[in-house]
Amino acid sequence: MLSLMKLTFWGAAQTVTGSMHLVEAGGANYLLDCGTYQGRRREAREINSHLPFPARSVRAVVLSHAHIDHSGNLPSLVKNGFDGPIWTSPATADLCEPMLLDSAHIQEKDAEFVNKHAWRKKALLGTDSKEAVEPVYSTPDVEKLLPLMRRVLLHMPTEIGEGVTYESFDAGHMLGSTIVALNIEEGERKVRLVFSGDVGRPNLPIIPDPEPCPAADYLIMESTYGDRLHQDLGRVADRLADTINRTAARGGKIVVPAFAVGRTQQLVYVLNQLAEAKRIPNLPVFVDSPLAVKATSVFRSHQEAYDAEASSDVARGDDPFMFGRLKYIQDVQESKALNDLRGPYVVISASGMCEAGRILHHLKNSVEDPRNTVLITGFQAEHTLGRKIVDGQKEIPIFGEPYRLRAEVVKLNELSGHADQRELLLWLKPAVKGLKRIFLVHGELQAQTTLARAIEEQYGVPVTIPARGESFPL
């Protein structure tokens, strides 16, 4: 008797974080991504701490790329008993090591802070402290995970289970990002399921353009910017130069929350070009993120994943990630010293959604001064500090204290690693003829509803917007 092929959505369902999709085929479970949910602290901790299925029931994981909202809960899977292979690209496997170790460190420090605060409250007020909080996962969980990584080159069909073959294509979203195709055979039945991962944009710095959507019966497709259009990428350098020049002229500093992996390297690459062309003042640029420093080293070691322009720069002997007054900072004391440095200067620091890390200290010391600029370069999920800044709230919470937002806020969406509605529709077009259904994930409901309508009107393919925990037969 043939088993039921089934797809269940456990993350990035009507939201942009926590990518996690369970495929049941041939009597086995395969997980597409295992990402960290980001949002309200208590809700995020609850979701990330409690997997919605037994970890031991998963035969293998297929990982689209290294961003934490796609890879960040893999250590929880291992902590709860998973010991199968994790199939992914070589660059993604190498990026996951520093990223997940950094994530574990943050989990450990967060738990330490919460517990210390609870015990202090008990000592001062005599209130009962709740049971000690454990980190969602810790460094040993990551160390157990790393040997499970299986590196697979693009376009290399690989059997990952009985009747299940995995093949990957370049998603053009970040270094090593992939589109995932699963070919599933059960007796006479054959199903081809494609997962877009995060679809990038043409002409992004460093990385190649996304490959077109492969043929599929069913498609799991991201929808982050399904309801909007980006400005022309050609304006990125112009807008970045204008922002720096305008802020420098008033003696301010430019504070840039940026994902340590991908966005930071792209910003450095564009700043390099602007500095060489003398289009910005000769001012200091700091990358203040130990993770970004380690990730940049991985970028340097995977030149096979560069686009033609970046490859040409390297061939000429140019280091795309280093120029004149650029300095990478790892030491905590050096990071703190930046707070006493007078502007103008640029500081790029993680996290990209302003939820943790050194960027919080830079924002605390910058947002109340109207001479300064906060430069937002990526999507900001609901309930994050980054979203509050983008929305222009007059008062924002940093480390639990209110701060007036008086600095200028600039949004540089052109550098987004996510395709907009027009680009998603063009990416999808080659596959529409054979598609039975599209499942939209990794988007807020308004973006998904708008994109679903556009797909159905333009291509006539049925579209479903799954809720968390919803299952569908294939």
The string of pLDDT tens digits covering residues 283-334 is 999 999 999 999 999 999 999 999 999 999 899 998 989 988 999 998 999 9
pLDDT surpassing 50 at residue 62:
yes
The whole-model pTM stands at 0.88
Contacts of 468 (CB under 8 A, 6+ apart): 9, 10, 11, 13, 14
Contact 466, 472 (CB under 8 A): yes
- The verdict on whether omega for the bond into residue 177 sits within 30 degrees of 0, i.e. cis, is no
Q: How many CB atoms lie within 10 A of CB 383?
A: 17
pLDDT surpassing 70 at residue 84:
yes
The residues with which 193 forms a beta bridge, in sequence order, are 182, 218
Euclidean distance between CA atoms 282 and 88, whole angstroms: 41
Mean pLDDT calculated for residue range 27-34:
97
Mean pLDDT calculated for residue range 64-84:
97
Euclidean distance between CA atoms 308 and 180, whole angstroms: 23
Contact 199, 427 (CB under 8 A): yes
Contacts of 54 (CB under 8 A, 6+ apart): 80, 81
Asked: is 234-415 a CATH 3.40.50.10890 domain? The reply is yes
pLDDT band at residue 230, thresholds of 50, 70 and 90? confident
pLDDT band at residue 379, thresholds of 50, 70 and 90? confident
Amino acid sitting at position 148: L
Any idea what the Cα angle at residue 376 is, between residues 177 and 220, rounded to 5°? 35
Domain ranges of the chain: 6-228+418-473, 234-415
CATH class, 6-228+418-473 region: alpha beta
Contact 199, 169 (CB under 8 A): no
Euclidean distance between CA atoms 187 and 170, whole angstroms: 30
* pLDDT in the model for residue 214: 98
* pLDDT in the model for residue 121: 64
pLDDT surpassing 50 at residue 458:
yes
How large is the angle between the packed helices 263-276 and 236-249, nearest 10 degrees?
70
Taking the C-alpha atoms of 443, 444, 446 and 449 in order, what is their torsion angle to the nearest 10 degrees? 40
* pLDDT in the model for residue 127: 60
Amino acid sitting at position 189: R
| H-run or E-run covering 397 | strand 395-398
pLDDT surpassing 80 at residue 40:
no
Query: Is residue 91 helix, strand or coil?
Result: helix
Contact 31, 78 (CB under 8 A): no
Pairwise pLDDT comparison (340 vs 100), residue with the higher score: 100
Q: Render pLDDT for 340-371 as a digit per residue (tens, 0 to 9).
A: 898 799 999 988 888 888 999 999 999 999 99
Pairwise pLDDT comparison (384 vs 100), residue with the higher score: 100
Compute φ and ψ for 207, nearest 5 degrees: -95, 155
User: Quick one: tokens of 29?
Assistant: 């479970």
pLDDT band at residue 115, thresholds of 50, 70 and 90? confident
How is 401-412 classified by DSSP, letter by letter?
EEEE--SEEEE-
Mean pLDDT calculated for residue range 251-276:
92
Which has the closest alpha carbon to 268: 98, 415, 68? 415
Helix, strand, coil percent content, the chain, rounded in steps of 5: 35, 20, 40
Q: Render pLDDT for 425-446 as a digit per residue (tens, 0 to 9).
A: 999 999 999 999 999 999 999 9
pLDDT surpassing 50 at residue 1:
no
* pLDDT in the model for residue 128: 60
pLDDT surpassing 60 at residue 16:
yes
E strands within 104-214? 149-151, 158-161, 164-170, 178-186, 189-195
**DSSP for residue 431:** G
User: Quick one: tokens of 424?
Assistant: 């998603």
Compute φ and ψ for 151, nearest 5 degrees: -85, 130
Helix-then-strand count for the chain, H and E: 14, 22
- The verdict on whether omega for the bond into residue 140 sits within 30 degrees of 0, i.e. cis, is no
How large is the angle between the packed helices 421-428 and 445-459, nearest 10 degrees?
40
